[in-house]
Structure 1
Amino acid sequence: MNLSYWEIKTWFTEVDFTIVGSGIVGLNTALQLKNKFPSAKIVILEQGFLPQGASTKNAGFACFGSLSEIIDDLTTHSEEEVLNLITKRINGLQLLRETLGDKTIDYQNLGGYELFTKENEPLYNLCQEKQEYINKSLKPIFNDDVFSFKPNNFGFKNIQSRCCFNQFEGQLDTGKMMEALLHKVLSLGVKIINNCTVETYSEGTSDVKIKTNQFEFSTSKLLIATNGFASRLIDEEVKPARAQVLITKPIHNLHIKGTFHLDRGYYYFRNIDNRILFGGGRHLDFKTEETDEFGQTERIQNALERLLKTTILPNIDFEIDHRWSGIMGVGQQKKAIVKQLSNNVFCGVRLGGMGVAIGSSVGKDLADLME
């Protein structure tokens, strides 16, 4: 790009911190850095015209894990690790709400429900069996029982007669959340450059040279917050995971309110503006969905539509209004990677599909690595 003297001087000279990614983590990192270093010059580089990845693509669940997800996590993580993960998610959600305000992000505590298919009776029985144990384990965090079982009063079909209720789960408006975060960051003088992809970087003694698809410049510190796209820049144990989503047109007298999980959280849906937003299904084709390319597949879209017709909205006429996908960052372990990679390069990635819950705290932890 043919940059002018003014552009170089104003945007790309004496940059203290450069953040790659203007999603939840990147923006919260910038907020925390401005709190720590008010006079610092901060530049955020974003590959999309809007924050890409999952930050503007997610379903807006303010959640920390369904009962079956927690039970499943206990098979691959220690109990201490699982409790730490849940605590991190709760604290992250609280930080998000404190930072932006419940009214701003349209936060609503309508509760969360987990549904169990008729075919998956073993999982249903396991969750009922483990409910008391999980509640007891979570008591020190919530000071109350988290999970209980309630009758299916929503008219869902082909599921067990009772569903698991989580009284502490909420929902928010993803668009309002991201708009508020962007406004807050820009108001502090942070510069955001969109449609700018970081291709490579090289570290010198006291700075980092960044090569983008548009220009090159140097920064004192480089912070990578690209989550699902992290493998393009760094060699850490984080893989992309695409999540496909659809939303219906408005449905008259929609009676479904709350957030809902199905099949260990691999499917999820909620109400929003008298519509049903429904996503998931990557477990039907893990290999294909291990990609950082946006798009939909016929297999998963058909599965989502079929579940809408047979299970979620039986006997209700509906039309699909829009479809999209988001890119998450996942790994064998669910703990986020927040670390110093070299003298002047740092990262905050692998949010494991819990970006809304932990994005704020990961951003704070990443900023706290700066001296």
Structure 2
Amino acid sequence: MKISYWEYQTWLSELDYCIIGSGITGISCALELREKEPQARILILEKGSFPQGASTKNAGFACFGSLTEILDDLKTHSEEEVRDLVTRRWNGIRMLRDRLGDRAIGYEGLGGYELFQESESGETSRYLDKINYINALLKPVFGANPFKIVPNTFGFKGVLPQLVYNPFEGQIDTGNMMNALLSKAGEKGVHILNGVSLHEFEDCPSGVFLQTSIGELSCRKLLLATNGFAGQQTELPVSPARAQVLVTTPVVNLPFRGAFHLDKGYYYFRNIGNRVLFGGGRNLDKAGETTTEFGQTELIQSQLEKLLREVILPDTTYEISHRWSGIMGVGSQKKPILRKLSDNVSCGVRLGGMGVAIGSQVGAELAQLGMQH
């Protein structure tokens, strides 16, 4: 593609910062840079028509981790590390809300619940016995106990009569949230080019040179905010993790509102008005879902439909109206990778399926890395 003089002068010349990825992390990074360096020329390159990956494809959970997920994390992380993870998620959610406002992102603080299937009754008692321990660990983060046991009053079938509830979880309108971020970036003079892929880059004494789908570009600093796609550009320990999601048609007299978790967070559902969003099942085929390819599989979709029909909405009439998938970035550790790869190249990736919660803070920290000399 030949770039015109006008295109080059307006968007591509004398770039101070080039950010790869226009999701929550990338735009948050750009906004932080703009606040600290009002005169900087900032460009975001995005390979998709929408922010590729998960920022416009997530389930809209403003969450910090279910009881069983946190207990599972304690098998591979220290208590301090787990508390730090939850703190980062909680602070990140508040940062997103403060930046955009609850109305703009459709935030609803409806709380979160965890269900346990009857087949898990033996294992569940061990989890419930740990509530006091986890509450003591996390009370300093929230200023109150985050978890308590409540009865199942929602009509779910095949689950134990006890649910775990936390009042600090909420949900957002993902589309409105990203639209608000994109609008704010535009207001602040941050240029975003969609449909542009980064092929390779080289950090040289005179700047960073990028080979892209529209030709060669250069910038003073390059910042990678590509999360699950980071492995395509670097050798960082980031694995893509596809998450499949479906949404129902409106359900008459939907008996629940809020965010719900099942099977250590591998399944999750919530209301969108009177619709139900249901996603997960990656644990059924972790190898197959370790991919950067979008799409659905019969194995996972059929299990989502089965749980929806038998557990979540038994004896209810509805149809499936939407199906899609998003790509997360995961690894052996839940802590995101914030690192300088060279003098003028930095990354903020591997958000561990918690992009809504931590994307704003990771973006701000990535900007701080990029501004270092």
TM class, shorter-chain normalised?
over 0.9
Does the Cα contact within 8 Å between 2:3 and 2:214 map onto a contact in 1? no
1:229 maps to which residue?
229
2:247 maps to which residue?
247
How many angstroms apart in 2 are the aligned matches of 1:55 and 1:179?
Answer: 11
1:68 maps to which residue?
68
Q: How does 1:352-363 map to 2 (within 5 A)?
A: 352-363=352-363
2:23 maps to which residue?
23
How many angstroms apart in 1 are the aligned matches of 2:164 and 2:150?
Answer: 6
1:213 shift after superposition: 1.4
Q: How does 1:207-222 map to 2 (within 5 A)?
A: 207-222=207-222
1:190 maps to which residue?
190
How many angstroms apart in 2 are the aligned matches of 1:143 and 1:3?
Answer: 55
2:92 maps to which residue?
92
Does the Cα contact within 8 Å between 2:47 and 2:196 map onto a contact in 1? yes
Regions of 4+ moved over 6 Å: none
How many angstroms apart in 2 are the aligned matches of 1:79 and 1:320?
Answer: 41
1:123 shift after superposition: 3.0
1:368 maps to which residue?
368
1:206 shift after superposition: 2.8
SS at match of 1:338: strand
Matched, 1:130 2:93: no
1:218 shift after superposition: 0.5
Does the Cα contact within 8 Å between 1:259 and 1:270 map onto a contact in 2? yes
Measured on the aligned residues, the alpha-carbon RMSD in Å equals 0.7
Does the Cα contact within 8 Å between 1:21 and 1:51 map onto a contact in 2? yes
How many angstroms apart in 2 are the aligned matches of 1:246 and 1:192?
Answer: 29
How many angstroms apart in 1 are the aligned matches of 2:320 and 2:354?
Answer: 26
1:57 maps to which residue?
57
1:255 shift after superposition: 1.8
SS at match of 1:93: helix
2:340 maps to which residue?
340
How many angstroms apart in 2 are the aligned matches of 1:123 and 1:114?
Answer: 14
Matched, 1:78 2:60: no
How many angstroms apart in 2 are the aligned matches of 1:15 and 1:38?
Answer: 13
1:329 maps to which residue?
329
How many angstroms apart in 2 are the aligned matches of 1:161 and 1:85?
Answer: 30
Per-residue CA deviation, residues 205-225 of structure 1 (Å, 9 max, x unaligned), is: 131111111221101000000
How many angstroms apart in 2 are the aligned matches of 1:139 and 1:298?
Answer: 42
1:368 shift after superposition: 1.0
2:175 maps to which residue?
175
Does the Cα contact within 8 Å between 1:116 and 1:123 map onto a contact in 2? no
How many angstroms apart in 2 are the aligned matches of 1:171 and 1:273?
Answer: 11
The residue type equivalent to 2:184 in the other structure is K
2:282 maps to which residue?
282
SS at match of 1:318: coil
How many angstroms apart in 1 are the aligned matches of 2:151 and 2:227?
Answer: 38
1:161 maps to which residue?
161
The residue type equivalent to 1:92 in the other structure is G
Does the Cα contact within 8 Å between 1:112 and 1:169 map onto a contact in 2? yes
SS at match of 2:129: helix
The residue type equivalent to 1:330 in the other structure is V
How many angstroms apart in 2 are the aligned matches of 1:325 and 1:319?
Answer: 18
1:257 maps to which residue?
257
SS at match of 2:277: strand
The residue type equivalent to 1:190 in the other structure is V
Q: Point out where structure 1 has 5 or more consecutive residues left out of the alignment.
A: none
Per-residue CA deviation, residues 105-160 of structure 1 (Å, 9 max, x unaligned), is: 11111110000001112331122110011001111111211101111100000001
The residue type equivalent to 2:271 in the other structure is N
1:281 shift after superposition: 0.1
How many angstroms apart in 2 are the aligned matches of 1:82 and 1:123?
Answer: 21
How many angstroms apart in 2 are the aligned matches of 1:78 and 1:70?
Answer: 11
Per-residue CA deviation, residues 224-255 of structure 1 (Å, 9 max, x unaligned), is: 00001000101111100000000001111112
1:7 shift after superposition: 1.1
Per-residue CA deviation, residues 233-285 of structure 1 (Å, 9 max, x unaligned), is: 01111100000000001111112100000000000000002100000000000
Matched, 1:13 2:24: no
The residue type equivalent to 2:360 in the other structure is S
SS at match of 1:288: coil
SS at match of 2:271: strand
**TM-score normalized by the length of structure 2:** 0.99
**TM-score normalized by the length of structure 1:** 0.99
Does the Cα contact within 8 Å between 1:68 and 1:123 map onto a contact in 2? no
Does the Cα contact within 8 Å between 1:208 and 1:218 map onto a contact in 2? yes
1:2 shift after superposition: 1.1
The residue type equivalent to 2:41 in the other structure is K
The residue type equivalent to 2:215 in the other structure is F
The residue type equivalent to 2:143 in the other structure is N
How many angstroms apart in 1 are the aligned matches of 2:265 and 2:171?
Answer: 15
1:3 maps to which residue?
3
Does the Cα contact within 8 Å between 1:61 and 1:170 map onto a contact in 2? yes
2:303 maps to which residue?
303
Q: How does 1:201-212 map to 2 (within 5 A)?
A: 201-212=201-212
2:146 maps to which residue?
146
How many angstroms apart in 2 are the aligned matches of 1:141 and 1:129?
Answer: 21
1:273 maps to which residue?
273
